[in-house]
């Protein structure tokens, strides 16, 4: 890390950072967020692509929605999820860079 860390700022933001890391510490949620960050996806697409089945899929999507990382849009019977957290997307990008490109 090349940027000098302001300990007072980090201390005041640590709770939010820990909450995000806690959400991302679940494999299914991390993979779901990664897929959703590539573009809006409906539940059936996520289930088929990621092989995460009900009720796990619904539980993990609920956590992502509750934590404000994704939003939903209903179209008839289908529910679509899209990413709304630039911070989470940035963290996912760093994780991808360090763990998936080497």
Return the closest-CA partner of residue 24 out of 74, 99, 102.
99
Cα–Cα distance for residue pair 84/27, rounded to 1 Å: 19
Strands 70-75 and 41-42: unpaired
Domain boundaries, the chain: 40-102
Q: Is the peptide bond before 70 cis (omega within 30 degrees of 0)?
A: no
> Mind listing the pLDDT tens digit for each residue in 14-34?
999 999 999 999 999 999 999
pLDDT in tens, 63-77: 999 999 999 999 999
pLDDT at 43: 94
User: Would you place residue 102 in the very low, low, confident or very high pLDDT band (cuts 50, 70, 90)?
Assistant: confident
Predicted structure pTM score: 0.88
Predicted local confidence at residue 70, as pLDDT: 98
3-state secondary structure 55-84: CHHHHHHHHHHHCCCEEEEEECCEEEEEEC
Which residue from 21, 86, 75, 88 is spatially nearest to 43, judged by alpha carbons? 75
Q: Which CATH class is domain 40-102?
A: mainly alpha
Percentage of the chain exceeding pLDDT 70:
99
Q: What is the pLDDT of residue 9?
A: 86
- pLDDT of amino acid 1: 55
Neighbours of 14 (CB within 10 A): 10
């Amino acid at each position: 890390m090349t940027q000098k860390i302001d300990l007072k700022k980090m201390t005041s933001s640590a709770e939010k950072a820990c909450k995000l890391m806690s959400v991302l510490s679940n494999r299914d949620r991390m993979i779901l967020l990664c897929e959703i960050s590539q573009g809006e996806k409906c539940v059936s697409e996520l289930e088929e692509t990621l092989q995460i089945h009900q009720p796990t899929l619904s539980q993990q999507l609920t956590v992502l929605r509750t934590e404000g990382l994704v939003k939903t849009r209903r179209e008839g019977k289908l529910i679509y999820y899209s990413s709304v957290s630039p911070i989470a997307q940035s963290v996912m990008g760093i994780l991808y860079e360090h763990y998936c490109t080497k």
